[in-house]
């Protein structure tokens, strides 16, 4: 599954490159106003922080929400207290677009994450050109040399990388690549099975100076509280927010744990 997701994302990026060459995207990225300081926005505080996600669908659950107006949803998230907003831009399985990210960037003043299967520098420049402040880099999908290369590029453009791990070895690789924000995803991207306790087993391997992000397996405030007790500084929440019906109410309940 993960290989297929990367292959599709890279094929789609190649198609976009045919219409918008690398040089044009690079120039647009460099012409953007500076990225917001996502690292400061996510640093540990006396209560949990939330990255709220704009997510229409997923390979494991299918369609989740129509989200005709991602900007409006993002405003609700920011109003409700989200520290950052994640936008799925992968089109084949998650039904997202870069236009969604651009629309969100235009209406909120919190950092915005491009969540996609990033494996090519072109995609990083695309992210900055669209206004992203954060870029997801998944350790499982990248050779170490490419992970380091992309992380350095993200930082050179003034953005922050959310480096995502699924095992102790991947945590080590993420730290070796210089991770300042490291996420542990409870969803195995090969089988799509969930293990909510994975974060707790790996948290101690993440140094205190690195922002610890728990991802996936959140359906209620109790799940956020579980992650917080396990050492999470930040929890990324997607499905539970887009399927709730009242994102501000749902977000408020998550932040009160």
Report d(CA 117, CA 137) in Å as an integer: 7
- Per the residue annotation, which of 53, 102, 170, 239 is the catalytic one? 53
Report d(CA 14, CA 244) in Å as an integer: 36
- Strand ranges, E, within 120-190: 134-138, 160-165, 181-185
| Torsion angle, alpha carbons of 19, 6, 133, 255, to 10 | 140
* 185 in catalytic set: yes
Strands 57-58 and 62-63: antiparallel
- Per the residue annotation, which of 115, 126, 230, 239 is the catalytic one? 115
Tokens read off for 189? 């991207």
3-state SS assignment for residue 179: coil
* 126 in catalytic set: no
- Per the residue annotation, which of 58, 216, 230, 239 is the catalytic one? 216
- Per the residue annotation, which of 55, 58, 90, 239 is the catalytic one? 55
* 55 in catalytic set: yes
- Per the residue annotation, which of 90, 164, 170, 180 is the catalytic one? 164
* 26 in catalytic set: no
Give the residue among 199, 38, 22 at the shortest CA–CA distance from 125.
22
* 95 in catalytic set: no
* 49 in catalytic set: no
Task: State the catalytic residues.
Answer: 53, 55, 115, 164, 185, 215-216
């Amino acid at each position: 599954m993960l290989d297929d997701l990367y292959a599709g994302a890279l094929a789609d990026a190649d198609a976009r490159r045919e219409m918008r060459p690398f040089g044009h995207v690079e120039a647009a990225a460099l012409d953007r106003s500076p990225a917001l300081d996502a690292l400061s926005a996510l640093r540990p505080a006396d209560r949990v922080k939330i990255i709220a996600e704009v997510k229409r669908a997923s390979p494991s659950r299918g369609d989740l929400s129509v989200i005709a107006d991602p900007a409006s949803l993002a405003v609700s998230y920011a109003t409700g207290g989200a520290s950052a907003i994640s936008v799925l831009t992968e089109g084949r399985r998650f039904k997202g677009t870069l236009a969604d990210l651009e629309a969100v960037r235009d209406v909120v003043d919190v950092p915005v994450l491009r969540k996609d299967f990033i494996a090519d520098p072109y995609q990083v420049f695309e992210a900055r050109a669209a206004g992203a402040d954060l870029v997801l880099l998944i350790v499982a999908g990248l050779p170490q040399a490419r992970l380091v290369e992309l992380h350095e590029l993200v930082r050179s453009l003034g953005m922050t990388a959310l480096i995502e791990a699924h095992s102790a070895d991947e945590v080590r690789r993420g730290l070796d690549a210089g991770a300042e924000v490291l996420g542990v995803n409870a969803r195995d991207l090969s089988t799509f099975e969930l293990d909510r306790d994975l974060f707790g087993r790996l948290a101690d391997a993440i140094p205190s100076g690195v922002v610890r992000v728990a991802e996936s397996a959140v359906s209620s405030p109790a799940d956020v509280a579980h992650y917080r007790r396990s050492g999470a500084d930040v929890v990324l929440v997607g499905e539970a927010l887009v399927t709730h019906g009242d994102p501000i109410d749902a977000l408020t309940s998550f932040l009160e744990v």
